[in-house]
Structure 1
Amino acid sequence: MPASPRPVAEPRPHSASRHLPPYRGILAVDAKDFTGHPAVQHEYISRSVPQLLERAFDRCGLSEVWESRRFPTSTGDGYVLGFDPAWLPFVVHPWLPTLQDVLAEFAVHAAGAVRIRLRVSLHVGPLPDSGGDFAGNGTARNDTHRLLDSRPVKGMLAASDENVTYVAAILSDRCYQDAVASGYTGRHPEHFIEVPATVEGKQFDQRAHLYVPTPSGSLFDRRILGERVMRDHGAPTAPAGDAAPPRPRGQGPTHRTTVHNRADRGNLNTGTVHGGQSVTNNDASHGGHVGDIAGDHVRGDRHGGNRAETVRGDQGDTPRGGPREADR
């Protein structure tokens, strides 16, 4: 038997310049609770996943992406492939919503067999693509799988209704910036929520973006997204089970302080007041008197409140003027 050829030595990193490998979009999917299914169903699920992916590409007019896929690999409970990054905006939309529809239909027709729900991760970066057995290996692919295993996308799919939501996707920040924020994809940035993608037991912490084509359940529960996500989105502190919607995209982190102000039957000003104010007291125990603040004069039986910043006119603890004649 001839001896195996000796591996060709490569220069060490940072020791010599070389050409970058081609940029590729990377798509990876995992079936939720794969190991939770009986072993007799594992082969069926593994075979069905790429068939469902292909069906979704074909339905939304992206057959070319599937037919020209690079380094395709079944992972047992999922699938990974590379593609021309020019298609990245189309994979985000319409392919992800179409995949949701295909899986929903599959759940109906496969009643009594198995339900397949998928986590999806999308990334883009340079990867060797020689076509050999070891093509497609590199940092970009590793990060794609880390994103797929990250806490936010797992929690998002687990917290949604299994009869409604079949797809939860996570995009790397680079993928999001190139395809979504730039305006190239047919989905508004408000369809996405920024999250820190972390993986338990791994040194991985990257900014990423969640997208659920058909959401259900309490998908912004603080227990799903984590304290850091809700804090970064300016959400108020709430009990562990309370849902808290994220702040609108584009606003910076908000630091909130709870302040209780009270001015019984009077005016309380916490900013600049221009013009007049009126106070109407309808409590019979206080005589139901009416007081007016107009310019520098305060008239009425009682004026309660406090001052903050600038008030145009006079506001103080000692009212000026007597009761109205009509109120006597």
Structure 2
Amino acid sequence: MSSPSPSPVPAPYAESRTLPPYRALFAVDAKDFTGLPAVQHGPVSQLIPELVDQALERAGLHELRDSKRFPANTGDGVVFGFDPALLPFVLWPFLGVLDDTLGAYNKQCVGPRIRLRASVHVGPLPDADGPGDGNGTPRNDTHRLLDSRPVKAILTAASEEVTHLAAVISQRVYEDVVLGAYTGLHPDRCVEVPATVEGKNFSQRAWLYVPSPSGNLVQAGVQPREESAAPADTPAGREQEPATSPGTHYSGNTQHVGEGAAVMGSVGRDLSYTGGTTTYHGTNQHWGGGDNVSGDKRVGGSGDGR
């Protein structure tokens, strides 16, 4: 019996065809997974989806836990599709619950800490119970967002005792779900970043959400979930202006970086910075061109060592 002929690959723009259904995508991977001893790779690879499922359960997303589309274990993480109608609940409360779940595990674990990067995206993907389900540009972009420089830099700079999860949200999800006010995640908890991946032809606008910020994220005004409410004697949204120095301008808690470096965490004395300014407005942080550097910022005049 002859084997069946392979399915032809469709030629682009040759004809119109039905658009695949829109599927939301969620992916996580573990920080420093490849640095673990080989004997720990298997157990950690098994543990990550268990922690994700625990968080889905605790967040009340039983339906999502049991109805993942084209799930895959990537070794250092997991990825799966789901009904986009559940996106608001994945952003809030699930991401916060996942952070809490990781924190609880890390406090009592005797093995390596599990700290995760997460990405959330949406787009048309084949989903007909076939072998090619879930493959397409939205899936590729989900993984690129996960590997993008800003989310890696944030998790590296943050305290491993406090910050267990850093999530990057695609522009499409942010516009439709966050700005659309369908979720409990307020826009002011999100940080705008240019998502780029070293060595890859990828650059997209995206948004960071860190459920439990630490270090200079807190100093910049990115507040933990339980501390986000404005004080009773402070009108919501009123801009507060801390002391400034030349080259740095503040109003509220948002950081816009056009040129130069956005510095977070703790770096040694070798860091120097020349030119560019840092501007804060509102509550979101916006990073433009230039490098986003982990470390403490010492503010001085243009060209001063920082």
TM-score by length of 2: 0.74
Q: Distance in 1 between matches of 2:158 and 2:190?
A: 16
Q: Secondary structure at the match of 1:213?
A: coil
User: 1:120 maps to what in 2?
Assistant: 118
- Deviation of residue 252 (structure 1)? 10
Q: Secondary structure at the match of 1:105?
A: helix
**What's the Cα RMSD here?**
3.0
Relative distance call for 1:234 and 1:99 in structure 2 (3 A) is same
Q: Secondary structure at the match of 2:195?
A: strand
Return the index of the structure with the highest Cα Rg.
1
Relative distance call for 1:78 and 1:3 in structure 2 (3 A) is farther
User: 1:183 maps to what in 2?
Assistant: 181
Q: Distance in 2 between matches of 1:113 and 1:74?
A: 20
User: 2:156 maps to what in 1?
Assistant: 158
Relative distance call for 1:253 and 1:164 in structure 2 (3 A) is closer
- The amino acid that maps onto 2:66 is E
Q: How does 1:1-328 map to 2 (within 5 A)?
A: 2-110=1-109, 112-219=110-217, 230-232=256-258, 240=273, 246-248=280-282
Higher relative contact order (CA 8 A, sep 6+): 2
> Percent identity over the alignment?
53
- Deviation of residue 35 (structure 1)? 0.6
Q: Which moved more, 1:124-133 or 1:198-207?
A: 124-133
Relative distance call for 1:37 and 1:138 in structure 2 (3 A) is same
Structure 2: runs of 5+ lacking an equivalent = 221-254, 264-270, 289-300, 302-306
Q: Distance in 2 between matches of 1:123 and 1:253?
A: 20
User: 1:312 maps to what in 2?
Assistant: none
Count of matched residue positions in the alignment of Structure 1 and Structure 2: 246
Relative distance call for 1:157 and 1:145 in structure 2 (3 A) is same
Relative distance call for 1:233 and 1:252 in structure 2 (3 A) is farther
- Deviation of residue 253 (structure 1)? 11
- The amino acid that maps onto 2:22 is Y
- Deviation of residue 8 (structure 1)? 2.2
Given that 2:262 and 2:287 are in contact with CA atoms closer than 8 Å, whether structure 1 keeps it comes out as no
TM-score by length of 1: 0.69
Given that 1:220 and 1:244 are in contact with CA atoms closer than 8 Å, whether structure 2 keeps it comes out as no
Relative distance call for 1:113 and 1:253 in structure 2 (3 A) is closer
Given that 2:194 and 2:287 are in contact with CA atoms closer than 8 Å, whether structure 1 keeps it comes out as no
- Deviation of residue 11 (structure 1)? 3.1
- Deviation of residue 235 (structure 1)? 9.6
- The amino acid that maps onto 2:28 is V
User: 1:281 maps to what in 2?
Assistant: none
- Deviation of residue 4 (structure 1)? 3.0
Given that 2:103 and 2:162 are in contact with CA atoms closer than 8 Å, whether structure 1 keeps it comes out as yes
Q: Distance in 2 between matches of 1:240 and 1:175?
A: 34
Q: Distance in 2 between matches of 1:79 and 1:253?
A: 28
Q: Distance in 2 between matches of 1:220 and 1:198?
A: 24
